[in-house]
Amino acid sequence: MNHQPIEGFSKLNKQGKIDWLVTEYLDGNQEYQNILKQYWNEDADLQKLHEEFSENTISNFYMPYGIAPNFLIDGKLYALPMAVEESSVVAAASKSAKFWLDKGGFKTTIINTEKLGHTHFIFKGEPHKLQHFFNFKLKKKLLEATEEITANMRNRGGGILNIHLIDKTADLPHYYQLKASFDTVDSMGANFINSCLEQFGKTLREEVAKEEEFTQEEKDSLQIVMNILSNYTPDCIVRAEVSCPIEDLKDDSGIAPEEFAWKFKQAVTIAEIEPFRATTHNKGVMNGVDAVVIATGNDFRATEACAHAYAARDGQYRSLTHCTTDDGIFRFWIDLPISVGVVGGLTNLHPLVKFSLALLGKPSAQGLMSVLAVSGLAQNFAALRSLVTTGIQKGHMKMHLLNILNQMGATEDEKQYFVNYFKNKTVTHHEVISEFNRMRGQ
């Protein structure tokens, strides 16, 4: 079927959008209308609220909202909200929390909270003249021009921390940056930062135009390319760690604590030197981070981009977590660059986000940074613990068992049978199907 483009799709009402999609792409099958409508919220006001979060919304896409309890973080117990569809994530986080509960729990340190943004521009004049102009005139003008924008943020203890002129002409001819650092306190701060940067671009253009030291040709050469925050925030960073004497690393798999510590450290070291392993290793870290990021209404795409850029900051992609076993002490930690907020955006609108933040004790942005780093570290610990002992499939596939059975249309009694059947076995897709068919005489 040759589909036709549509003009004014966004102007159709919700039913109109659905009718067009079903007719144009789904052969008029009304079953698909029913699928969309069964996910509408019965509360019309709540449904409208969700629809206004995004553009062209026709339904809601549900994700499981789970709880990982027993997290002891800096001496305080937490239950972490996790919005995630992968079956083993919440279970693994909970298992890690329980493991470290009687060993002092997780400790966190906020290393820095600096966020960044840039005005990117082209200038074909003399570099030393531009630097002198920035040092003695422009920087002051930029701060003055943004005083109204930054007033409320400064009252909360944040604002613009510094501005630098960066010469990038070695990478791209005539390319410069105004690199600004910000403290946005409890907000993620994207709109605030971008507003400041757009004013920087405007002020830069105005001040260059009237600067007597520049020739007319130099003035005419100025081109503002863009003003935008960076989601790479290597100086907005939190450390989370766990430690205990090696003899306390008793594992229910039967492996000796010393062997466990040795194998665990080897696994982390491999991820530090081997990008193929580091990618999967860090994906596991982000399983834990993203689940809490989503549950608290923050931007998991920004979180992912920043973490992976940081993992490759020296030119090779490496593990985000690290481990030592010196002097009989096992230590495992993560330094996670992460920019999040607890005010603004969905935090004031989405009811489940409000619940998540209340569940966490209405943390500051720094408090949430700590929780997120802990969640990532816990997830990684659980994954490595499985890998160096029983293997990843035993626990992962056991959690995946119900998904397989639901796909096969198993009854509740049949599900219970399979839970018992695989109690002491490793679940495989093949064996589930074989045993299911045997039960039903197929």
Other CB atoms within a 10 A radius of the CB of residue 391 amount to 13
Residue 348 identity (one-letter amino acid):
N
Look at residue 302 in the predicted model and tell me its pLDDT: 97
C-alpha radius of gyration, the chain, whole number:
27
Instruction: Give CA–CA dist 194/81, Å, rounded.
Output: 30
Structure tokens that stand for 99 in this block: 């493991």
Mean pLDDT by 10 residues, the chain (442 residues): 90 96 94 96 94 95 96 98 94 97 98 98 98 98 98 97 98 98 96 98 98 97 98 98 96 88 98 98 98 97 98 98 98 98 90 97 98 98 94 58 74 74 69 75 72
Instruction: Give CA–CA dist 183/153, Å, rounded.
Output: 8
The model carries a pTM of 0.89
Look at residue 106 in the predicted model and tell me its pLDDT: 98
Which of 380, 381, 422 has its CA nearest to residue 400? Answer: 422
Look at residue 138 in the predicted model and tell me its pLDDT: 98
- Helix, strand, coil percentages (3-state) for the chain, rounded to 5, are 50, 20, 30
Look at residue 136 in the predicted model and tell me its pLDDT: 97
Look at residue 395 in the predicted model and tell me its pLDDT: 53
CATH code of domain 83-111+234-390: 3.90.770.10
Which of 301, 311, 288, 143 has its CA nearest to residue 234? Answer: 311
The one catalytic residue among 98, 141, 202, 283: 283
Look at residue 267 in the predicted model and tell me its pLDDT: 98
The one catalytic residue among 183, 186, 290, 299: 299
Look at residue 262 in the predicted model and tell me its pLDDT: 97
Distance of CA 376 to the CA centre of its chain: 10
Q: Is residue 396 annotated as a catalytic residue, yes or no?
A: yes
Among 3.30.70.420, 3.30.70.141, 3.30.1370.60, 3.40.640.10, name the CATH number for the domain at 115-229.
3.30.70.420
Instruction: Give CA–CA dist 22/387, Å, rounded.
Output: 46
The one catalytic residue among 95, 120, 396, 398: 396
Instruction: Give CA–CA dist 115/234, Å, rounded.
Output: 8
Instruction: Give CA–CA dist 343/293, Å, rounded.
Output: 14
Q: How deeply is 309 buried, as exposed, middle or buried, from its count of CB atoms within 10 A (0-12, 13-18, 19+)?
A: middle
Look at residue 342 in the predicted model and tell me its pLDDT: 97
Which of 75, 48, 81 has its CA nearest to residue 362? Answer: 81
Q: Is residue 299 annotated as a catalytic residue, yes or no?
A: yes
The one catalytic residue among 19, 74, 86, 335: 86
